[in-house]
Amino acid sequence: MKKLLFTLLIGCLLAACGKEAAPGPQVVAHRGYWKAKGSAQNSISSLQNAGRIGAYGSEFDVNLTADGQLVVNHDFTYHDRVIYESTLEALRDTSLRLKNGEIIPTIDEYLAASLEYPAMKLVYELKSKGDPEYEAKALPASVEAIRRHGVEDRVEFISFSLSACKEFAKLMPNCLVEYLGGELAPAEVKALGINGIDYHFSVFDKHPEWVAEAHELGMVVNVWTVDQEADIVRMLGLGCDHITTNEPELAARLIAEFVSNPNPAGKEVPPTK
C-alpha cells in the first residue's frame, strides 16, 4: 500500500512538473537499415541494423505466396518469380539471393529475429492489390504470425489497401494502423476505424493542416520516405510523429537537434495552418 501511494505521489509530482514522457518524433528505418555495410532491403540483417542503432521501428514489406505463406519482400516479384503465383519452396531456391546473399526471409524468420530487439516497433506493410480473396488469406495469416511470436504490442500495420487497413484494425484493435494512400483527410480515415496516417511528404506539403487535424483526432502521423535533410527538418516542423527514412542515422541526429531547438534561426518552417 505504501509503495502504491509513493508511486502515485511521484506520478502526480512529475505530472505537476510537466515531466510526463512526451513521445516526440521517432525514426522508422524504411525496409530496415539496409544501407549499412553488408545489408540489403527487407533482409534479416537490415532489421538487426535498425535494432543496433536503436531505431524506433523497422519497416518491412510482406507478400503472400501461392501456398499461403508470408515472405518479406517489397515487390510482387522476386527475381523471375511472381510471389503470389509461387510456392514458398520455389522462392527459397538457394540459387535466388538478396543482394547481401541472404535467402528471402519468411515472416517467421523475420519476427523471430526481431525478438532480439524487444523495444523496436515492427512496421508491418502488407502488400496487396486490394483483391478480397488475397486479403482474406493474407490478413488472418499475418495476425496468426504476429500472435505466434507474441509481438502484438510491437506491430504497427501499414498498407496502401484501405480494405486491408480496415480489416486489420478490426482483427487487432489495439494495434496502430496507418493508411498509406494519401488521398484521404484524417477525419475520413478515422471514420473507417483506422487510427493513423502514413503519407508521402509531398502530401503534407500540400496539406500541412492534416498533421494537426490528425493529432486533434488522436491519430498518429507517419511520413514516408524522407531522406533529404531539408525534407526531414520540414516534416519535423510540421509535427510528424514518425519519420520513415532510408537514412535512419541522419534522421536520428536531426530529430535530436530538433528536440533541443525546435525552431532554429535561419531554418524556415512552414506554418501548419
CB of 156 to Mg ion, least distance (A): 12
Site string for Mg ion, 168-207 (x = CB under 5 A): ----------------------------------------
CB of 42 to Mg ion, least distance (A): 8
CB of 125 to Mg ion, least distance (A): 4
Residue 221 near residue 241 (C-beta atoms within 8 A)? yes
Which residue number places its CB atom closest to Mg ion?
125
Residue 10, amino acid = I
CB of 233 to Mg ion, least distance (A): 23
85-114 residues near Mg ion, rule: CB under 5 A:
none
Site string for Mg ion, 50-89 (x = CB under 5 A): -----------x----------------------------
How far is it, in rounded angstroms, from Cα 124 to Cα 146? 10
How far is it, in rounded angstroms, from Cα 42 to Cα 63? 12
Q: From the list 114, 125, 233, 248, which residue makes contact with Mg ion (rule: CB under 5 A)?
A: 125
CB of 134 to Mg ion, least distance (A): 17
CB of 200 to Mg ion, least distance (A): 12
Residue 172: count of CB within 10 angstroms of its CB: 18
Q: How many residues bind Mg ion (CB under 5 A)?
A: 2
In the chain, where does DSSP find H-type helix? 2-16, 44-52, 88-91, 107-114, 132-148, 162-171, 186-190, 201-206, 209-216, 229-238, 248-260
Q: Which is nearer to Mg ion, 233 or 245 (CB)?
A: 245
Stretch that binds Mg ion, among 122-130, 182-190, 192-200, 235-243 (CB under 5 A): 122-130
Residue 240: count of CB within 10 angstroms of its CB: 25
Per-residue b or e along 115-133, where b marks 16 or more CB atoms closer than 10 Å to that residue's CB: eebeebbbbbbbbbeeeee
* Interface ranges with Mg ion (CB under 5 A): 61, 125
